[in-house]
A and B are shown apart, each in its own frame.
Chain A
């Protein structure tokens, strides 16, 4: 069974640009969550989608947005990039049982210059 797939693995952008990251969950998993990981702040929750609906959102500015498609694949978008957006962006999927067991993809490492 294939795991969570994130593309691209690496990205280099400049300030002010926007970026779109993609995540394909484990087959059968309908919940997709996004996290940002930085050395200073650790792993922080961005948002969670289920059945194309955002169910939960973390404390990030509106420049961070996402969506989920009918096949459960998800994308996140960051507009007007800032230097502080440089991070590892992780996607995790779960079957959405009450226990919320999440499995992570390899991540997308974004560098903003």
Chain B
């Protein structure tokens, strides 16, 4: 079992709709959870981080964390073509200052 798992996609979403991305992790001691966006040929860009159970909203993005079920999700509201990218879930494991990444979910927003 991989430490951090994501559906590779592609997740195809009509413009204006909500994109829902999921991520599960195996280390119960994990404390910090991150979502990065990566455009093709570019480096990852941090878009959200969450530490506590529940929801955290930032603009069109909402991160949701459920430590009991060991999953973290990202919602993108009012999806735009510019949101088309790969979204990487990352977890700061209990082992220390090290981020473990999922394989990423490719999102395609169609006009």
Q: What residues of chain A have their CB less than 8 Å away from a CB belonging to chain B?
A: 31, 33, 35, 42-45, 48, 50, 55-56, 58, 88, 90, 92, 94, 96, 98-107
Total residues of chain B contacting the partner, CB 8 A: 24
Complexed CA–CA distance, A30 and B103 (Å): 27
CB–CB B97/A50 < 8 A: yes
- Closest B residue, CB atoms, query A90: B43
Query: What are 5 contact pairs spanning A and B, CB under 8 A?
Result: A42-B102, A45-B99, A98-B32, A100-B32, A102-B90
CB–CB B51/A99 < 8 A: yes
A100-B92, A104-B44, A105-B43 are known contacts. Are A56 and B98 too (CB-CB below 8 A)?
Answer: yes
User: Could you say which residues of chain A place their CB within 8 Å of the CB of B90?
Assistant: 102
- Closest B residue, CB atoms, query A6: B43
Question: Which residue from A43, A45, A98, A101 sits with its C-beta under 8 Å from B44?
Answer: A43
Complexed CA–CA distance, A50 and B97 (Å): 10
Across chains A and B, the number of contacting residue pairs, with CB separation under 8 Å, is 62
Q: What residues of chain B have their CB less than 8 Å away from a CB belonging to chain A?
A: 31-32, 34, 36, 42-46, 49, 51, 88, 90, 92, 95-104
User: Could you say which residues of chain A place their CB within 8 Å of the CB of B44?
Assistant: 43, 90, 104
- Closest B residue, CB atoms, query A99: B32
Nearest CB of A to B39, in Å: 12
Question: Which residue from B46, B51, B95, B103 sits with its C-beta under 8 Å from A102?
Answer: B46
Known A42-B103, A90-B43, A106-B42; 20 more pairs at CB < 8 Å = A33-B99, A45-B98, A45-B99, A45-B100, A50-B97, A55-B96, A55-B97, A56-B95, A56-B97, A90-B44, A92-B99, A99-B32, A99-B51, A100-B32, A101-B32, A101-B46, A102-B34, A104-B44, A105-B43, A107-B43
Question: Which residue from A88, A102, A105, A106 sits with its C-beta under 8 Å from B99?
Answer: A102
Nearest CB of A to B29, in Å: 13
Question: Which residue from A43, A56, A96 sits with its C-beta under 8 Å from B101?
Answer: A43
CB–CB B43/A98 < 8 A: no
Most chain A beta-carbon contacts within 10 A, residue among B44, B95, B104: B44
